[in-house]
Amino acid sequence: METHRLVLTEDLNQYGFLFGGRLLSWADELGYIAASNDFPDANFVTIGMGEVAFKKPVKNGAILCLKAVQSKRGTTSVSYEISVTAGQSTEQIFSTDISFVNVYANGQKRALSH
């Protein structure tokens, strides 16, 4: 799955670059959407992120390309590799791995179907 984001002034930190927390939020959201599309009957919650690597600063006005690729599937969980590039470049500016678990309304794990 792929999506794009425009970096706006409200996304910047005190030094004028993209705030890392904002990018983490976008990555988590993309992973959730990818998982929900792949398993439409599931109720996912985020259970973890792997190593988070911010490789380059991002300036105001940059257009980011965020990609999610399923990397692992378990009985109740699924993981996605998230990568981000800026503009027309293919050079990664960010990457991480995000895992989601399918749960019942009471929070207990539930097997994935599909």
Residue 108 lies in a domain: no
**pLDDT of res. 88:** 84
Q: How many domains does the chain have?
A: 1
Q: What is the dihedral of CA 39, 45, 51, 54, to 10 degrees?
A: 90
Selection from 23, 73, 29, 79 nearest residue 52 by Cα:
23
**pLDDT of res. 12:** 98
Residue 110 lies in a domain: no
- Quote the domain boundaries for residue 67: 2-102
Name, in order, each residue with C-beta under 8 angstroms of 55's C-beta and a sequence gap of 6 or more.
91, 92, 93, 94, 95
- Stretch (H or E) spanning 30: helix 20-38
CA gap 64, 14 in Å, rounded: 20
**pLDDT of res. 76:** 98
Residue 24 lies in a domain: yes
pTM summary value: 0.94
Residue 104 has pLDDT above 90, yes or no: yes
CA gap 88, 114 in Å, rounded: 35
Residue 100 has pLDDT above 80, yes or no: yes
Residue 81 lies in a domain: yes
Contact in structure between 90 and 96 (CB atoms under 8 Å): no
Residue 112 lies in a domain: no
Selection from 97, 83, 93, 94 nearest residue 50 by Cα:
97
Q: Domain of 83: which CATH number?
A: 3.10.129.10
